[in-house]
Amino acid sequence: MSDIQNIAITSTQTVQQPKPHITYTIQVSTPTRTWTVNRRYNDFVALQAELVSSTGKEPPAPLPKKHGWSLTRSVYDDKVIRERRVLLEAYLRSILTTKDSRWRQAYTFSDFLSVPTPRAGSSSSTHHSSSSVSGVPPPPDHWTPMTWLAEQGALSSLVRSIRSALLKRDALAGMSDASGSRSASVEAKRLLKELSARLDGLDTGLGKTGTGLGEGEKRRREEMVENLRAERDNLQRMADAGVRTSAASAASAAFSSRANDTGGSGVGAGAGVGVRGNGTMPGGTGSLWGPPPAGPSSGRVFGRQQPPQETSETRPLDDRGLLQLQQTKMTNQDDQLGELSKVLVRQRKMGEEIAQEIGEQNELLDGLDHEVDRTGKKLGRAKRELNRLG
């Protein structure tokens, strides 16, 4: 932060999406470079709150108050915008030039100005190494709602890198490149180890930043963490299952099936059994794929069943891995059904309580109706007595 020489708000823009608002273009200058960032007034409010929370003291200059709507002027009035622009610039410059460096050294202030992370030096050598090896940015030093989202995006990229390494492992194994396949497997397992460590940090960061989030946003971020954990577990199973030995045979059979569908010439499959272009055995005894040739049959064939389609999730797995994946999915479905059953039980209980409450209200109304009738009869008798006495 000591390299920043000047901060200025050079212009403003009116942005229509998602809702009309004003953004302020902040120009930050250092001895070697100059960049700009766009921030709206709500971002300044969030910066103020986080600076007070992290340092325990108000910044040296006050943040300009939010203008309320009035009949005489609008928040989009040029005069209002110019006044706020001057005050916001003074607010940022006071943090930069004050003798007390606690505010400008806060990570929140650097993040607000989008200060580039240093890539060299002793203080960042570890993070630089992690970033250059895995290809994703290093984890943040300080957790804020914005850095949490950046880390979640980095871990999503890491998941894609692991899946790509596993697919590369299987492809190289199918090409009989044992050395390349082994290297890809080692790379995938190393990235999995990094993903597990950073996923724990992401969960910890959510606990630190969750107090300032709304209930819905916090629940959404918890679901993001759970989805990443599920992806990690699935990739871990794929890595532990190893290379599927029948990958080349399966590819050959799939190619032969496609050739049969287009009327092409057949190719050898599996253990070297010859297949003709019509998909039959050499002796013509039967069809490997699709309906048998014309002749007596035991049943009616309405259409050939399509072979099961491989997915990116099942392609790298062997039989044991497929069974484990199916069991996991069935367990997840059972858990979802259990949660749904709990919801239905709660709704049924609420319905019973509502019905009981309605019954009690009906009893009260019946009692009130009965009392009204009794009171009416008493008033009638009293009226007759008054008429008789009068």
- Residue 304 CA, chain-centre distance (Å), reads 40
Beta carbons within 10 angstroms of residue 333's beta carbon:
10
pLDDT, tens digit (0-9, with 9 covering 90-100), for 122-169: 334 344 444 434 566 778 878 888 888 888 888 988 898 898 888 888
State the Rg of the chain over Cα: 36
What SS3 class is residue 282?
coil
The pLDDT of residue 139 is 81
Question: Which residues have CB under 8 Å from 385's CB, separation 6+?
Answer: none
Domain contains 211: yes
CATH of the domain at 42: 3.30.1520.10
Residue 358: band (very low, low, confident or very high) from pLDDT cuts 50, 70, 90:
very high
Domain contains 307: no
Residue 4 has pLDDT above 80, yes or no: yes
Structural tokens at position 308: 């099961």
Domain contains 284: no
Percent of all residues in the chain with a pLDDT value above 90, rounded to a whole number: 9
Domain contains 340: no
If we measure between CA atoms, which residue out of 143, 142, 58, 45 comes closest to residue 100?
58
Q: What residue numbers bound the domain in which 160 lies?
A: 132-241
Last residue of a domain, one of 241, 265, 283: 241
pLDDT, tens digit (0-9, with 9 covering 90-100), for 150-163: 888 889 888 988 98
Domain contains 64: yes
Q: Give the C-alpha separation, 248 to 2, whole Å.
A: 59
The pLDDT of residue 283 is 43
Q: Are residues 106 and 177 in the same domain?
A: no
Q: What is the largest CA-CA distance in the chain?
A: 124
Q: Are residues 136 and 182 in the same domain?
A: yes
- Maximum average pLDDT range among 214-218, 305-309, 368-372: 368-372
Q: Are residues 88 and 183 in the same domain?
A: no
Domain contains 282: no
pLDDT, tens digit (0-9, with 9 covering 90-100), for 252-285: 444 444 444 444 444 344 444 444 444 444 444 4
Between the alpha carbon of residue 344 and those of residues 336, 337, 340, 356, the distances in Å are: 12, 10, 6, 18
Q: Provide the domain count of the chain.
A: 2
Q: Which one-letter amino acid corresponds to residue 127? A: H
| Alpha helices in the chain, H assignment, sequence order | 41-55, 78-97, 107-112, 125-134, 145-174, 178-209, 215-241, 247-261, 319-389
Domain contains 46: yes
Last residue of a domain, one of 178, 212, 241: 241
Q: Are residues 107 and 145 in the same domain?
A: no
Q: Are residues 47 and 144 in the same domain?
A: no
The pLDDT of residue 257 is 46
- Which is more confidently placed, 340 or 272? 340
Residue 57: band (very low, low, confident or very high) from pLDDT cuts 50, 70, 90:
confident
Domain contains 262: no
Q: Are residues 163 and 203 in the same domain?
A: yes
Mean pLDDT, range 225-229, rounded to an integer: 91
